[in-house]
Amino acid sequence: MRKRLIDVVSRTGGHIGAGLGVVELTVALAYCFDSPRDKIVWDVGHQGYPWKILTGRNDRLPTLRQPGGLSGFLRRSESPHDQFGAGHAGTGLSAAFGIAMARDLLGEQYKVVAVVGDGALTCGLPYEAMNNAGHSGRDIIMVLNDNGMSIAPNVGAINRYLGSIIASPITVRIRERVKGLIESVSHIAGGQKLVDFAKTLEESIKNLWSPGMLFEELGFRYFGPIDGHNVAQLVQT
């Protein structure tokens, strides 16, 4: 898929970086959810090039950004799989919350997923959406694609918060010690129970220091961090 994107966009032009970064995530979403019945909302439109490929538009991809061709972003009039049309970051989660509210008011049953980049969290709108969604208790899934980039390197306190906690020296030292404990007891009698305990301890430490605490306090149940390039891990999560 990446080869296809590079081949096409090198000729048509377009925002290719975001799409290259979400190939595995896009595959996992297409596998786990039943689009267009389930609603997948991409916060940044140019993340959607792999989505176009997997939702019946691969043959038209060479018309990307050409007159009469595919849009450079996601467009509702282009495909029933495009739930929200946007080019910039920050609006997707609010749109997804609105879709979830409409679903519940109509008594319908489907999943709503918002794919939000860490660059979007430099905007205020996602926090309003999280505030409302967390308070409402509505069933909505937010995927935070924390790739450390937007149109340029991210800046600000939230960027530092997301980027520094998992990589902090304290966390790294604790995780290395837990890893050593696992390796030292795995071969002794009864060691498997100790291994299981050590892994649980590591997960608890990770959750204690991870940026997920922010989202938990806003009413979301947090799972992660997850390797966004590991399809099997994404599907399992």
* Highest-scoring range by mean pLDDT, 54-58, 124-128, 145-149: 54-58
Confidence band, pLDDT 50/70/90 cuts, at residue 185: low
- Percent of all residues in the chain with a pLDDT value above 90, rounded to a whole number: 41
Is the model's pLDDT at 188 over the cut of 80?
no
Q: Which long-range contacts (CB under 8 A, 24 or more apart) does 79-85 make?
A: 79/52, 79/55, 80/36, 81/35, 81/36, 81/40, 81/51, 81/55, 81/56, 82/48, 82/51, 83/36, 83/39, 83/40, 83/41, 84/41, 84/42, 85/45
pLDDT of residue 226: 82
pLDDT of residue 222: 79
pLDDT of residue 43: 87
Least confident of 19-23, 97-101, 130-134, 152-156: 152-156
Least confident of 49-53, 83-87, 196-200, 212-216: 196-200
User: pTM score, two decimals?
Assistant: 0.74
Rounded Cα–Cα distance for residues 141 and 37 (Å): 15
Least confident of 72-86, 123-137, 216-230: 216-230
